[in-house]
Structure 1
Amino acid sequence: MVQNLIHQYNLLPHPEGGYFKETYRSAESIPASGLPLRFPAERTFSTAIYFLLLKDLFSAFHRIKSDECWHFYEGDSLNVHVLHLDGTYELIRLGKNREEGEVYQAIVPAGAWFASETSGEYSYVGCTVAPGFDFTDFELAKAAELKLEYPESASLIERLCRQ
């Protein structure tokens, strides 16, 4: 099943962990003058990807400069760990088990640190970013620095960081 998803959708390894495929990039752009100062150049209106996480893999803590909307498609539920700018922790559970508090969509706000992991064998989800994603807006966390900022989440940070 998982190998079929990777093959059918031409998924590639993602730098943060897992597999991805960009499925949409708006043909139109917002000029830098129309964006908040955190964006150094123009950005497309929006981008979207497929994202696959497998058992024993994780998406390492990272942040981007845009809001990111997560969408659940199939497989096991996905745990998205969010460290908000105000210092609070939030666990978002993407999945189909509404009775257990899982949701089909959720937003990770711009600037928040976040990591994700599947609760089972695999999770197949999508992410939509607006303004559109650009790798210059991507920052992979360093565990030592992140633990200083969020000491109460130190064990989670150590487990879900690569540096």
Structure 2
Amino acid sequence: MDTPDSQTQSSDHSPREVVDQLINAWNLLPHPEGGWYREMHRSPDQVTRSDGAQRSSITAILFLLDAGSKSCWHAVHGADEIWIHLQGSPLSLWTLEPEGSKAVQHVLSLHHPLHVAPAGHWQAARTEGQYSLVSCCVGPGFQFEDFEMLKSRPPQQHPPGALPDLL
């Protein structure tokens, strides 16, 4: 894996400059759910899910949320998503059962770096500071056809417990 220039992590830069440097150093693109991302790995090995769909065995992205962005409620159907904190401020990740319940907050940091969002569960995130850089690994591998944004559903179809400020 390529690594960004060491200046990206310099304490001589403002948080906005660090975010801009990370976006440029990693060639991150805007993600539909919010934030910035770049796919870093897509396994050439294929697996067959229980629904018969063929997918790469695993995919991995870098994902960056700055203080002005959020990862809106979304679900990855047919695959688990593993969130791994890499750098920056703690990240609040909320998960919600597919049919709704009470949203559960998981704070990812260097001391608690990993959480799994099970297939089909709703998830949303926001940084607790200036920025959070995470990796998201999806298995079986991510395809946008398995991705659903909650805001694309009519409000009466939103599951109970979905925090409205994360839509």
In which range does the TM-score fall when normalised by the shorter chain?
0.7 to 0.9
- TM-score (ref. length: structure 2): 0.82
What is the aligned-residue identity percentage? 38
Q: Deviations over 1:18-73 (max 9, x none)?
A: 0000000001111xxx3111x6x310000000000010210100000210011111
Matched, 1:112 2:121: yes
Alignment map for 1:1-163 (pairs within 5 Å): 1-30=18-47, 34-37=48-51, 41-65=53-77, 66-85=79-98, 87-96=101-110, 98=111, 103-142=112-151, 144-147=155-158, 149-150=159-160, 153=161, 156=163, 158-161=164-167
- Structure 1 residue 90 displacement after superposition: 1.4
Distance 1:56 1:3 in 2: 13
Distance 2:156 2:35 in 1: 24
Distance 1:68 1:131 in 2: 9
* Matched residue type, 1:50: L
Give the aligned length.
Answer: 146
Distance 2:23 2:55 in 1: 28
Distance 1:114 1:145, change over 3 A: farther
Distance 2:62 2:42 in 1: 13
Q: Secondary structure at the match of 1:2?
A: helix
Distance 2:55 2:22 in 1: 29
- Runs of at least 5 residues in structure 1 that lack an aligned partner in the other structure: none
Runs of 4+ in 1 over 6 A off after TM superposition: none
- Structure 1 residue 129 displacement after superposition: 0.4
- TM-score (ref. length: structure 1): 0.84
* Matched residue type, 2:95: V
